Amino acid sequence: MTGTDRRLVLATRNPAKVVELREILAEALAGTGLELVGLDAFAGLEDVVESGVTFADNALLKARYAARATGLPALADDSGLAVDVLGGAPGVFSARWAGPLAEAAGTSRDEANNALLLAQLADVPDEHRGAGFVCAAALVVPGEGPGSVGREVVREGHCRGTLARSPRGDGGFGYDPLLVRPDGRTLAEHSAAEKNAVSHRGQAFRALSEDLQTLSP
């Protein structure tokens, strides 16, 4: 911590993620007196290149950078979709699966990723369309010296389902409109509270709740 600064940094510039994590961690944060903020709360911070080969690698890369740069405890996550018949792909490449096709098609990155994945799986029968989201959530605490890190913890969460043949639902983001849960609805057809209760990200960060208690004043 820096003096009396009771902020906890989430290594993202996505305001929707900050809101989502505040909801997921509401009870845990209430017990610590910490305020969750994103990278945009600090001037001059750079974006971290996600060069890791696993979700845990990327989560730690981002959390370590945020902890070193701010001197505050930091959270980060990396998540993606693992499709059974694709051997676990898109995996860590989920967010950039369509590559430059997104810009070329004049669509959003999410729309391009979903369209490409559906095209790749067009001939795959329903019984072989199993897939699941995976999330690695990391907590990194600053070390004693400037720019150093101390304790590191990584927890994982999983959310299984099958892939629809077309997007459904207006909620969520990424591949949420494609993953059909056992109740027949995609994650994008769940309310925010319903999604947080079953999602990979919700599971991973709730698993970190006990670790956050060590940051209590």
> Would you say the C-alpha torsion 135, 21, 110, 106 has a positive or negative sign?
negative
Give the active site residue among 77, 78, 110, 211. Answer: 78
Instruction: Check whether 207 is labelled as a binding-site residue.
Output: no
Active site residue 78: yes
Instruction: Check whether 173 is labelled as a binding-site residue.
Output: yes
**Contact by Cβ (8 Å): 121, 157:** no
Instruction: Check whether 16 is labelled as a binding-site residue.
Output: yes
Instruction: Check whether 176 is labelled as a binding-site residue.
Output: yes
**Coil, helix or strand for 69?**
helix
Tokens of 119: 């095209």
Instruction: Check whether 133 is labelled as a binding-site residue.
Output: no
Q: What is the DSSP letter of 93?
A: G
Instruction: Check whether 110 is labelled as a binding-site residue.
Output: no
Instruction: Check whether 62 is labelled as a binding-site residue.
Output: no
User: For 143, phi and psi rounded to 5 degrees?
Assistant: -85, -175
**Contact by Cβ (8 Å): 121, 163:** yes
Query: What does the radius of gyration of the chain's CA atoms come to, in whole angstroms?
Result: 18
Instruction: Check whether 14 is labelled as a binding-site residue.
Output: yes
**Coil, helix or strand for 106?**
coil
Instruction: Check whether 174 is labelled as a binding-site residue.
Output: yes
Catalytic residues: 78
Annotated binding residues for Mg(2+), as ranges? 78
Binding residues: 12-17, 78-79, 173-176, 195, 200-201
Extract the annotated binding site for substrate: 12-17, 79, 173-176, 195, 200-201
